[in-house]
Each structure stands twice: as C-alpha cells, then as structure tokens.
C-alpha cells in the first residue's frame, strides 16, 4: 500500500473532512465568541487562495506578510498563503514601524494581510516599500457561512464595508496621486464576479488611462418605470 506524504495541505484536507462541524479556532470578543469550524477554515482558505491567484495574480514564491493580533482569521490567512504557493511572513505586532519596515524591505512581500486595528500602519508601510502591491483587510463577518454576494450581506456589515472603502479610497488617492476612483462590486457571474464571496474593488483612475468601465444607458418609459417601482414597494 502506497502511503500518502503528509504536509500541511493534506492535514488541512483530512481535518476538514473528519471534523468539519467541530470548532477549530475561536476567540472571545466584546461581542461574544467568534468561532470557526474546520469546514469553515477549509472553505475560506480555498476562497482566499483563489482570490490571491485569480484576482491579484500572485505567483509561487511571492511573500505574504500578516500583521494582526491573534484571531481566527489569522489561521485562514496562513493556510491560504500555503495553498496559493506563497511564503508566509508573520509579523509581530509589538514591533515598531521602523522594525517592521526593516523586515519587509528584506523579505519584499507583495501582499499584506492585516486586521482593521493595524490598517493605518500597513498603508503607511505600503507607501514606503515598493514591493507591496496589495493590502487586504481581514474580514470580520462570521466564517461559518460564506457570504457570496451583496444579497447575503448583513446590513451592519454592508455599512462597515462602505465606510472602509471610503477610508481606503481617500488614503490611496493621497498615496497614488490619482485623478479619480471607481468602486466596483460585482454580483453573479454575468456581472463579472469570478470569486464568489463578497468583496469590493477600488480602482485608481488617471487622465487618459484608457480603462473602460462604461455601459450604454438604455431608455425607460414611464409605464415600465412605474411597474418597476410598484414591484420594489411590494
């Protein structure tokens, strides 16, 4: 009988199958316990790895830095990094900005996964370190059920997402000196969604950049308009 080699990926696969509904990671917060099952770890790790590869275009061997306090999302980021072929660089939150900069100048990460608490630090480092292409904020909704699109997004989380998008757009505008911004959020394959969890795209725009994000406006009769409004109100 041929034995399968054991590594972190086979262990993740085995445990998500054997203990899928058991709690794997948890953390107590002011809002109660935030828990993540083995199944949830596997699902979200694969989704995040897919996002890194398909949306961001990361390559095998690139560095992914993680700047966050201890929380369930941290484990997802580590597994996603391994699944995508990236090299994980865990950063100690107790380090000074100077020390963090020194480490990242040495390892040259292309992506930083960061908790909301350390977002400002990560954005400041991005301005000073040319290798950093993407800063990704760890999601804060419950991971037991993935939120695929805007229809499934809780109102409170939707509000936080827009506030964060506004904050990020302002900081990126100042950092990139761009002329404008598109905020894009796709829902459904026909609308361009390729990774099926809720996320937003912040696209910096420059005069004459040639990027086309337009559509041809149609005509709407008063009768059709009234019919649509009636259905919305029902």
Kindly state the average pLDDT of the residues 35-59: 86
pTM: 0.55
Q: Which domains does the chain show, CATH number per domain?
A: 1-146 (3.40.50.12780), 147-210 (3.30.428.10)
3-state secondary structure of 129: coil
pLDDT for res 159:
85
Q: Rounded to a whole number, what is the largest CA-CA distance in the chain?
A: 73
State phi, psi for 36 to the nearest 5 degrees: -135, 125
In this structure, are strands 23-29 and 32-37 parallel, antiparallel, or unpaired?
antiparallel
To the nearest 10°, the Cα dihedral for 108, 110, 115, 118?
50
Percent of the chain with pLDDT over 70: 81
pLDDT for res 110:
95
> Are residues 111 and 65 in contact, defined by beta-carbon separation less than 8 angstroms?
yes
In this structure, are strands 109-114 and 63-67 parallel, antiparallel, or unpaired?
parallel
Q: Assign 52 a pLDDT band (cuts: 50, 70, 90).
A: very high
pLDDT, tens digit (0-9, with 9 covering 90-100), for 177-224: 888 888 888 888 787 777 777 888 888 888 888 877 666 767 778 787
Question: Which residues, 6 or more positions from 100, have their beta carbon under 8 angstroms from its beta carbon?
Answer: 67, 91, 121, 125
- As a whole number of angstroms, the distance between CA 140 and CA 155 comes to 13
- As a whole number of angstroms, the distance between CA 183 and CA 167 comes to 12
Kindly state the average pLDDT of the residues 82-88: 93
Q: Assign 141 a pLDDT band (cuts: 50, 70, 90).
A: very low
> Are residues 89 and 134 in contact, defined by beta-carbon separation less than 8 angstroms?
no
pLDDT, tens digit (0-9, with 9 covering 90-100), for 90-125: 999 999 999 999 999 999 999 999 988 888 899 889
In the block, which residue shows the tokens 């292409």?
A: 133
Pick the most confident of 12-21, 71-80, 136-145: 71-80
Kindly state the average pLDDT of the residues 31-53: 80
Residue 30 has pLDDT above 60, yes or no: no
């Amino acid at each position: 009988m041929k034995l399968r080699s054991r590594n972190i990926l086979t262990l993740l696969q085995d445990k998500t199958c054997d203990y899928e509904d058991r709690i794997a990671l948890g953390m107590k917060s002011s809002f109660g316990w935030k828990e993540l099952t083995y199944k949830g770890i596997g699902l979200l790790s694969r989704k995040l790895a897919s996002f890194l590869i398909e949306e961001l275009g990361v390559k095998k061997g690139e560095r992914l830095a993680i700047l966050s306090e201890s929380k369930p999302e941290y484990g997802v980021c580590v597994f996603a990094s391994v699944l995508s072929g990236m090299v994980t660089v865990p950063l100690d939150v107790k380090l000074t900005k100077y020390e963090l900069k020194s480490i990242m100048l040495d390892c040259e990460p292309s992506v930083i996964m960061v908790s909301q608490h350390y977002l400002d630090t990560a954005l400041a480092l991005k301005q000073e370190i040319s290798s950093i292409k993407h800063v990704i904020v760890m999601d804060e909704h419950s991971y037991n059920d993935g939120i695929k699109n805007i229809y499934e997004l809780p109102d409170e989380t939707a509000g936080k997402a827009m506030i964060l998008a506004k904050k990020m757009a302002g900081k990126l505008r100042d950092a990139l000196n761009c002329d404008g911004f598109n905020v894009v959020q796709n829902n459904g394959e026909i609308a361009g969604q390729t990774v099926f969890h809720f996320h937003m795209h912040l696209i910096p725009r420059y005069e004459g950049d040639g990027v086309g994000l337009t559509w041809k406006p149609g005509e709407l009769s008063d009768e059709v308009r009234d019919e649509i409004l009636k259905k919305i109100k029902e």
